[in-house]
Amino acid sequence: MPFNASRRLKVAAAAGLAFLHLPIVLIFLYAFTTEERSFAFPPPGLTAQWFAVAWARSDIWPPLILSLQVACVSTGVALILGTLISAAMAGAKFWGRESLSLLVVLPIALPGVVTGIALRSAIPMLHLDFSWITIVLGHATFCIVIVYNNAVARLRRLSGAILEASADLGANAFQTFRHVLLPNLGTALLAGGMLAFALSFDEVIVTTFTAGTGAASKTLPIWMLDELIRPRQRPVTNVVAIVVFATTFLPILAAYYLTRDTSDSPIASK
């Protein structure tokens, strides 16, 4: 190292990291508080009862299951479409390549409220009813870019000639896909899928526009949003927040370990 970090820089960097993490610790703490009507600090007492209460609450389970369903289907769609785009990008240069990569990024480059209101105004025009399928429509759209970004970061490091080498050695297109492209893109696609799942599972901005109003299209984040605006048993909301946090945290960690050796940081490209 050419210079040593000054004490001030160290403190500022540590404070910045702490600012990012301490609030999440508080979510955990408040799940154990005995005070259910306010966010009094320090909590007057600690109890584990809210986990049992949350488990027994019948209004939490359907949103949880719906969110898992939406996240799984959206991830599946995003994996298929993202893989197709990256396979096309792996091949020769073609006209419109730049425009296509811009089109893929657009759904996350524009504010979520734009994607939301756009779908909201288009869905009735297509005579579609709002349901879990319209939620998937929105989620998959912005999940494609996550899968795609991961795959493209990996492709950039691969020697382009390995696809030609495979054909040169006698492999047909399907053999090249199965024996060369998939093994090399595999972990990147898996990591992209993990991140897409995490993103879809806790998405709320687009979802509020595409979900419709019925209880049957209430995802877990929408349930949480309702609790934030009209709180009932506050610690129960904390328990659900922990569940949401864990459900997104584990895939993110997995994605990190899947792409860790690869020097580039594809998961940085949300």
Partner 1 sequence: MSPAIFPATTIASKLTGVFWRHPKLLLGLLLTPPLLWLGVIYLGSLAALLVQSFYSFDDFSGLVIPEFTLTTYAKLASPANLSIILRTLLMALAVTLASAIIAFPVAYYAARYALGRWKAVFYLGVMLPLWSSYLVKVYAFKLILAKEGIVTWAASATHTDWLLNAALALPFVGGASLSSSYLGTFIVFCYVWLPYMILPMQAAIERVPVGLLEASSDLGATARQTFWTVTLPLALPGVIAGSIFTFSLTLGDYIIPQIIGNSASFIGMAVYQLQGTAGNVPLAAAFAVIPILIMLAYLTLARKAGAFDAL
Partner 2 sequence: MPQTPAVTFCAVTRHFGPVKAVDGVDLTVAEGAFFAMLGPSGSGKTTCLRLISGFERPDHGAIHIFGQDVSAVPPHLRNVNTVFQDYALFPHLSVRDNVAYGLMVKGMGKAHRLAKAEAMLDLVKLADYGARKPAQLSGGQRQRVALARALVNEPKVLLLDEPLGALDLKLREAMQDELKALQRRLGLTFIFVTHDQGEALSMADSLAVFDKGKIAQIGTPAQIYTQPATRFVADFVGSSNLLPPALTLALGGPAQWASLRPEALRLADTGPISGVVQSQRYLGTGTRINLTLNGTDLAAFVPAGSPVPAEGSQVTLTFAPEALHLLGDAP
Footprint of partner 2 (CB under 8 A): 158-159, 161-162, 164-172, 175, 179-180, 183-184
Choose the contact partner of 166 out of partner 2, partner 1, none; CB within 5 to 8 A by kind. Answer: partner 2
Distances from the Cα of 167 to the Cαs of 75, 87, 160, 237, in angstroms? 31, 15, 12, 56
Q: Which residues contact 19 (CB under 8 A, 6 or more apart)?
A: none
Q: Taking CB within 5 to 8 Å according to partner kind, which of partner 1, partner 2, none is near residue 13?
A: partner 1
**Can you spell out the DSSP letters for 218-265?**
--HHHHHHHHHHS-SSHHHHHHHHHHHHHHHHHHHHHHHHHHGGGSS-
162 binds, among partner 1, partner 2, none (CB under 5 to 8 A by kind): partner 2
Tokens of 145: 């870019």
Among residues 94 and 159, whose Cβ is nearest to partner 1?
94
Q: What is the C-alpha to C-alpha distance for residues 83 and 268, in angstroms, rounded to an integer?
A: 19
State whether residue 1 is helix, strand or coil: coil
- Please report how close the Cβ of residue 245 comes to partner 1 at its closest, in angstroms: 5
216 binds, among partner 1, partner 2, none (CB under 5 to 8 A by kind): none
Nearer to partner 2, 67 or 184 (CB): 184
Smallest distance, Å, CB 173 to partner 2?
A: 8
Nearest approach, Cβ of residue 97 and partner 2 (Å): 15
CB of 87 to partner 2, least distance (A): 17
Q: Which residue, 109 or 165, has its beta carbon nearer to partner 2?
A: 165
Please return the burial class of 172, using the count of CB atoms within 10 Å of its CB with bins 0-12, 13-18 and 19+: exposed
